[in-house]
């Protein structure tokens, strides 16, 4: 399993303040560092299936930021819909595209850029 986290014990993972799912490891590392500097616990995943394998450990209210183009089996927005249907409610599409480049997606709270929200 490939994922990055400053905090590695499973107890810490469950207490995440934010989850980022992006295939760009340099970007996820930057989000973790930014979170650490802001006193936030950020957990990052570089593959959808890595998050799928542990997603039951996380609170359904934790903000999840997902890249649209993950170079994975499905698009980030499609995986976001799966998460919404599973009960996750704070899902953001973190992308380099403009919000108007996407249709309205009721399961996405907002389309945002790649900058950490801290």
In the chain, domain spans: 3-112
Q: Give the pLDDT of residue 72.
A: 73
Q: Give the pLDDT of residue 96.
A: 92
Closest CA to 109 of 70, 86, 77: 77
pLDDT tens for the chain, 118 residues: list them.
444 443 333 345 578 999 999 999 999 999 999 999 999 999 999 999 999 999 999 999 999 999 999 987 899 999 999 999 999 999 999 999 999 999 999 999 999 999 999 8
d(CA 31, CA 80): 19
**Residue 89 main-chain phi, psi, to 5 deg:** -120, -15
CATH number attached to the domain at 3-112: 3.40.50.2300
Q: Give the pLDDT of residue 12.
A: 53
d(CA 10, CA 80): 23
User: Whole-model pTM?
Assistant: 0.88
């Amino acid at each position: 399993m490939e994922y990055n986290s400053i905090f590695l014990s499973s107890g810490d993972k469950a207490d995440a303040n934010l989850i980022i799912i992006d295939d760009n490891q340099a970007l996820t590392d930057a989000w973790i560092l930014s979170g650490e500097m802001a006193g936030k616990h950020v957990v990052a995943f570089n593959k959808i299936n890595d998050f799928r394998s542990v997603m039951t450990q996380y609170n359904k209210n934790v903000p999840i930021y997902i890249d649209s183009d993950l170079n994975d089996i499905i698009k980030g927005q499609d995986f976001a819909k799966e998460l919404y249907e599973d009960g996750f409610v704070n899902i953001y599409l973190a992308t380099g595209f403009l919000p108007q480049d996407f249709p309205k997606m009721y399961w996405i709270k907002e389309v945002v850029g790649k900058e950490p929200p801290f």
